[in-house]
Structure 1
Amino acid sequence: MKFKLLLAASMLSLGVVHAQDFVKGIVYEDTNKNGKKEKTETGLINVSVSNGIDVVLTNERGEYKLPVGKDNIIFVIKPTNYSFPLNDKNLPEFYYIHKPNGSPKLKYSTVSPTGEIPKSLDFPLYAQQEDIKFKALIFGDPQAYNMDEIAYFKKGIIEDINADGTIKFGISLGDLVGDDLELHKPYQDAIQHIGKPWYNVMGNHDMNYDVEVDSLSDETFEYNFGPNNYAFHYGNAYFIVLDNILYPNPNTGKGYLGGFRKDQLDFVENSLKYVPKDKLIILNYHIPLGNINSDSFRHSDRDRLFKILAPFKHTLSMSAHTHWQEQIFYGLQDGWKQQGVHHEYNVGTTSGDWYSGTRNEYGIPSSTMRDGTPKGYAILTIDNNSYSFEYKVAGKPKNYQMNIIVPSVLSEKYARLYKISVNFFMGKKGDKVQYRFGNDQWQNMTYVEQPDPAYQYELLKFDTAEKFIDGRRPSNAVNSTHLWEAKFPNKLPVGKHDLQVKAIDMYGKLHTQTVAIEIVK
């Protein structure tokens, strides 16, 4: 016993054993919105507060207490019917960075030493009324590599948006910029013009690559945006934001791998302990969980995530990263722990195919994605614990939901050699897509997974150009997961005809489109 006491004393003198540090404070309703806790302002009960791993609820006086180390971000999980203060870029202010010694010195700006934590770290919230039905804007990969591309993003996407009162906030699903982290500020300047609170996910092009451990790869992101793992309630939905890039790749020591650290999944599990089981749980991350092998995404992490989600019957995931658009479904064979499937919407990107392709009259690249989906953004609609999506093509009317690919003029004699192709941007295998000419009977089209012919045509313009084309060559095509085709009828008479196409999406909404063609002798 005497030896153990001496050993403990020795370890204390060497600093090996540390007394546990704590942070405490109050979460309160800031009725006069001055950011200071007044005597007349009351604390809020049962609000979740986290240090990035542990999650606690405030007591009846709004008080909380959490352990902290030397590198924590303390943040509030926004409860329903409350909002956070916003900074001048419309970014929610819901966190406090605790880095007494600051971040390591890296290529891009990081957090300076914050000193000792305040004696009472208080968080203000504003009361607001939240309907159970609302909308949010969803961006995939803005990913500008320079100020020219920031301008393309602003002109091509931001100015296309009409964020009316039904839109409550927005989320960017990572790759906010393209490796140059000094562009985070111009990105914020562009997003600010939407005029809505904006939440951000970290992507693999938002990381510090001059680090040796994954826990430091987000230092500049934290400096610019705060935590990269957090959550918030809105209406009857619970949004969880996660960084799912492991850098360096733990298998090879080079590059990155899709996955989660244990502490991140601990946070998810701890936060969900206080979420009602009938809520809609929405996961927001960058890399799709459905990469086909563990060389792309660590499946053991996905398995634990699915186990954590097992008690919740209403779930959704949103990802980006691929620069194409796809509806992904996980069933029992993929480790999903419930009957039915878990839906992941791999959202099309606002940068499209990395700002490639020919330019329009305003100098903005067409940027069509590799699967033939035009660049754009998604609109998420929540109604209680159900959801639906719309995809808005940038620069096109709201009802432009498919591209009908067919010659405008063709020969009566050779019509049978042609086919009709339809890229239904929000479609998936199993959806019903039909066509007809005039008032003829509707005919079913056949689902195919192959490159979009219109995208290949645009690519060939660059590959066979005899004159200089000002713009970046588009990337090689990938198979589209929302393409249908049919043989062209061989008995269509000479003259002009309306080709009509209709499609029903996974939410039961009917979409129609018509193009004019002409049959000649």
Structure 2
Amino acid sequence: DNVDYEGAEEGGYRGYVSEQQIEWLRNDLRFVPEDKLIVIVTHIPLYTGAVDRDDALITVNLPELLAVLEGREHVYTLSGHDTSNSWQNYLGHEHGWNNPRPLHHQVLAEVRGDGWGGPKDEHGVPETTMQDGNPNGYYILSFDGNRYTTRFKAAGEPEDYQMRVMFEQESAGRNQLTVDQWEVAAWQAPQLVVNVFDGGERHEVEYRLNNGDFRAMVHTLRTDPYMEDRYLRLLGTEEEVGNPAVSSHIWVADMPANLEGGVHTVTVRSTDPYGRVSEASQVFEVED
């Protein structure tokens, strides 16, 4: 429990692991063999990559916790709480973690997504996509000795639904998102934008056009254009969604400016840190 209430005067809380819990962990680890996997679950993240994070979104005494875990080779930590974004963090020397192997801290996507908001489906259930563009969903965590894997599963979607593929095109001074209709007139070399759900810096994301070779995409911190579009279209309605948040799992690539007219296919391939491969394709047409 790292939710530390700061009192009625302050009117808030922070992420903080109490001295009592730190001492308990230190004593408990004395009896845990070095080759065992240590799993630590907190509500508030230990750390996130959010540019606007505050003490309510991180654990302020993280170095104290890391000092207790120092020397442990097999550690996995996970949390929730950040309702706008999922994060795959790998802590190193700059965070106070001095082990050779980075410490994996995962901030999970939300079952409730964007607070059960957004447009409703035919059953009356809100779409509730998170502000970083991650669909609401759950995780499958698998453990084998001191090894583990994690897998995000979007609610109500097939297991292989692991990414959203979009084009973003500059036109008339503003971004035009082509996401539902794949017909691009007056070809202006749009940018290919891919949101790999619950992805992170250790994912390898590539794309290819038609039957060409796969090329690497660039990992970047930015908002999801799909969420930008939905936010503007639904603003002021009963189905409005949260303000788009900078996403930690977006990849981009510039499309070629000399693409000939006709029908084309773009295929995106994502390889996660466990070696699992996911693919998604989109067919689009360039008018002559």
Same fold (TM over 0.5): yes
Specify whether residues 362 and 470 from structure 1 end up closer, same or farther in structure 2 by C-alpha distance, changes over 3 A only: farther
Mapped partners of 2:229, 2:36: distance in 1: 46
1:144 is matched with: none
> For the Cα contact (< 8 Å) 1:415–1:489, is it kept in 2?
no
Mapped partners of 1:279, 1:445: distance in 2: 36
Deviations 1:392-436 (A, max 9, x none): 01111101111001231112x3242x2110001132235321111
Q: What secondary structure is seen at the aligned counterpart in 1 of 2:63?
A: helix
2:92 is matched with: 331
Structure possessing the higher radius of gyration over alpha carbons: 1
> For the Cα contact (< 8 Å) 2:109–2:198, is it kept in 1?
no
1:289 is matched with: 46
Deviations 1:246-284 (A, max 9, x none): 11359x643111102211222222222222111100101
2:124 is matched with: 363
Q: Does 1:310 align with 2:67?
A: no
TM-score, normalisation: structure 2 = 0.87
> For the Cα contact (< 8 Å) 2:218–2:253, is it kept in 1?
yes
Instruction: Output the amino acid matched with 2:39.
Output: I
> For the Cα contact (< 8 Å) 2:270–2:278, is it kept in 1?
yes
Give the structure with the larger strand fraction: 2
Mapped partners of 2:108, 2:58: distance in 1: 18
TM-score, normalisation: structure 1 = 0.49
Specify whether residues 391 and 277 from structure 1 end up closer, same or farther in structure 2 by C-alpha distance, changes over 3 A only: same
2:227 is matched with: 455
Q: Does 1:414 align with 2:181?
A: no
Structure 1 residue 353, shift from structure 2 partner: 0.9
Mapped partners of 1:378, 1:296: distance in 2: 21
1:507 to 267, 274, 282: 274
1:432 is matched with: 204
Q: Does 1:518 align with 2:278?
A: no
Q: Does 1:380 align with 2:137?
A: no
1:266 is matched with: 23
Specify whether residues 297 and 437 from structure 1 end up closer, same or farther in structure 2 by C-alpha distance, changes over 3 A only: closer
Mapped partners of 1:298, 1:256: distance in 2: 11
Q: What secondary structure is seen at the aligned counterpart in 2 of 1:266?
A: helix
Instruction: Output the amino acid matched with 1:306.
Output: L
Question: Which protein has greater RCO, CA pairs closer than 8 Å, 6+ apart?
Answer: 2
Instruction: Output the amino acid matched with 2:28.
Output: S
1:157 is matched with: none
Q: What secondary structure is seen at the aligned counterpart in 2 of 1:429?
A: coil
Q: Does 1:444 align with 2:239?
A: no
After TM superposition, the runs of 4+ consecutive aligned structure 1 residues lying more than 4 A away are 291-298
Instruction: Output the amino acid matched with 2:199.
Output: G
Deviations 1:477-518 (A, max 9, x none): 111111011122233333222211011112222211112212
> For the Cα contact (< 8 Å) 2:220–2:248, is it kept in 1?
yes
User: Within 5 Å, which residues of 2 pair with 1:161-310?
Assistant: 243-248=1-6, 253-290=10-47, 297=58, 299=60, 301-310=61-70
1:123 is matched with: none
Deviations 1:117-139 (A, max 9, x none): xxxxxxxxxxxxxxxxxxxxxxx
Mapped partners of 2:161, 2:68: distance in 1: 38
- Matched-pair identity in %: 30
Unaligned runs of 5+ in 1: 1-242
Instruction: Output the amino acid matched with 2:24.
Output: F
Q: What secondary structure is seen at the aligned counterpart in 2 of 1:482?
A: strand
Alignment root-mean-square deviation, CA: 2.0
Structure 1 residue 296, shift from structure 2 partner: 5.2
